[in-house]
Structure 1
Amino acid sequence: MIYISICIPTKDRINNLIDTINSILDDNVDPNYYQIVISDNSDNNATQEYINTFQNTNYNFKYYRNPVKGFYNSIQALLIGDGELLKLHNDYTKFKPGCFKKLVEMSIEKHKVKPLMFFPNGELKGKKENFDVKSFNRFMSKSSYLTTWSSAFSIWKSDLHNLETSPESVDIMFPHTTLLLN
């Protein structure tokens, strides 16, 4: 079962993307539990050529050449993910050793209750790493401005399909934040 899809929108940053993908693969997590989704609106074929090198491996990649330019690429990455949890992830945000494995374990543990999960990657300076909040207002207070950071965002696939995701219905600069606030 695919518990989590790491949904990476990218545009012309192949070197960053390679480093990010390596940070996932280096954690040696069973590839049956996760998927790496690439939504690519690059001006060249470098990303597609790189992803094609994984064709005859056990890794679970899904590549989409997105004709739509701009930040809506992040919504497209989420929409094509097959995992229970869809985690948006910037192409330049590498996982620290062991963190991807922990993320997969959390998605397996929480997939039946499906809580809102937010991954600030250590950016909530001086604050507890894991915390539960009982209200949306408390969540906003704890997460602060990082609610706009796409690498912190995740959504359960079942929740995504209950939201309006068309380009006209989301903010042009922060489309994922529109989903969060709905």
Structure 2
Amino acid sequence: MSYLVTLCIPTNGVPEWCQPVFESIYQQGVDENLFQVVVTDNGDNQEFKKIAHQYQANHKSFVYQETTAQGFLNQIESFKLAEGKLVKFLNHRNCLEPGALDYFINYSKRGDEDTVVYFSEGNLHRENVIEDDSFDSFIKDLGLYTTWSGGLAFWHKDLEKIEGLQSFNSLYPHTDVLFMKRHAKKYVIVDKVLTKSLPTDDTKKGRYNLFHAFADEYINILKGLKSDGDITEVTYQSVYGELKQFVVDLYAQYVLLQLPCSYDLSDSDKYISKNFSVEEVNKLAKKWALKYRIKSTIKKILGK
């Protein structure tokens, strides 16, 4: 069967997240002949497995497969099972907003398969659709959100290119997909809010090394784009600046304020020093932390 859209949901099997996400898809009332849901599970939660098998029994468009793929590489396993014309990554904590599935289906019907499309979920605070005529301007417009897998989409006809890639970055496999077409006819960013993240806290998120990921590994990816001539120095510096501020925010929250989280924070200064000044990051983070403490104190006083 040929679907117009496949929603790929790689997960480690968290029932309190995934079940509401599944419900948000099938409660849209869309003809199941038009879309497919692919769930790949690299976890060991037995309750979740029962839920997933039940959805598979009840919905012909639901595909569930267990996998041994580690961490973020689970994304690639889900993509390989996709049959839809438009393949859209969906985070296992992100429920579809009403009408979102129809939007993806209509986009698939009218979309140009020679373009690269990314769904930035209103995070850029721009007009609903941004069109770029070069990879360089596309990366500059996305900025920090090039690190975010949640907006990833691609056309099924490009799946062969993905399967042909020799290896994937274990922290950022989605960028291997996002960046594989560097000479497309057009790049489209849809900045419309189509999903809503379920409430959670940072103690239930990733266990990867946070500063290795953002202060080291991703900067290396950017440097590779620049050295290949695919982005300009101006774009590199623009995204680098956004990453620097993000690293400052992370350092303030988790190193200075020691807010609870599930991330690995080891060797933070070592990783930061590879591409930033630790002294400058620390100085800026202290200012961030001070503002946070002041706001928290005010909220307590006001009883909020």
After TM superposition, the score normalised by the length of structure 2 is 0.55
Counterpart in 2 of 1:119?
Answer: 119
Q: Which has the higher helix share?
A: 2
Identical amino acids, percent of aligned pairs: 27
| Deviation (angstroms), 1:45 | 2.6
CA contact (8 A) 1:87 1:155 kept: yes
Counterpart in 2 of 1:95?
Answer: 96
Counterpart in 1 of 2:127?
Answer: 128
Counterparts in 2 of 1:174 and 1:86: CA distance versus 1, 3 Å? same
Counterpart in 2 of 1:72?
Answer: 73
Match status 1:169 vs 2:170: no
| Deviation (angstroms), 1:160 | 2.3
Aligned partner of 2:176 among 160, 175, 178: 178
| Deviation (angstroms), 1:178 | 1.4
Whichever of the two has the greater Rg, that structure is: 2
Query: SS where residue 107 of structure 1 aligns?
Result: helix
Counterpart in 1 of 2:276?
Answer: none
Distance in 1 (alpha carbons) for counterparts of 2:127 and 2:45 = 42
Distance in 2 (alpha carbons) for counterparts of 1:68 and 1:57 = 26
| Deviation per residue, 1:105-155 (Å, 9 max, x gap) | 111222x63421111112112x01112211111111221111221110011
- Which residue identity is paired with 1:178? D
Query: SS where residue 53 of structure 1 aligns?
Result: helix
Count of residues in Structure 1 that have an aligned counterpart in Structure 2: 179
CA contact (8 A) 2:14 2:45 kept: no
Distance in 1 (alpha carbons) for counterparts of 2:164 and 2:62 = 23
- Which residue identity is paired with 1:119? F
| Deviation (angstroms), 1:51 | 2.0
CA contact (8 A) 2:80 2:163 kept: no
Query: SS where residue 71 of structure 1 aligns?
Result: helix
Distance in 1 (alpha carbons) for counterparts of 2:70 and 2:105 = 30
Distance in 2 (alpha carbons) for counterparts of 1:10 and 1:165 = 23
| Deviation (angstroms), 1:95 | 1.6
Counterparts in 2 of 1:99 and 1:55: CA distance versus 1, 3 Å? closer
| Deviation (angstroms), 1:93 | 1.1
Distance in 1 (alpha carbons) for counterparts of 2:45 and 2:89 = 23
Query: SS where residue 146 of structure 2 aligns?
Result: helix
| Deviation (angstroms), 1:163 | 3.3
Counterpart in 1 of 2:32?
Answer: 31
Match status 1:160 vs 2:159: yes
Distance in 1 (alpha carbons) for counterparts of 2:71 and 2:77 = 11
| Deviation (angstroms), 1:6 | 0.3
- Which residue identity is paired with 1:33? L
| Deviation (angstroms), 1:81 | 0.9
Counterparts in 2 of 1:77 and 1:165: CA distance versus 1, 3 Å? farther
| Deviation (angstroms), 1:55 | 4.0
Counterparts in 2 of 1:51 and 1:163: CA distance versus 1, 3 Å? closer
- Which residue identity is paired with 2:4? Y
Counterparts in 2 of 1:174 and 1:165: CA distance versus 1, 3 Å? farther
CA contact (8 A) 1:40 1:47 kept: no
| Deviation (angstroms), 1:165 | 5.6
After TM superposition, the score normalised by the length of structure 1 is 0.90
Query: SS where residue 90 of structure 1 aligns?
Result: coil
Q: Which has the higher contact order (CA 8 A, sep 6+)?
A: 1
Mind listing any 5+ residue stretches in structure 2 that lack a counterpart? Answer: 181-304
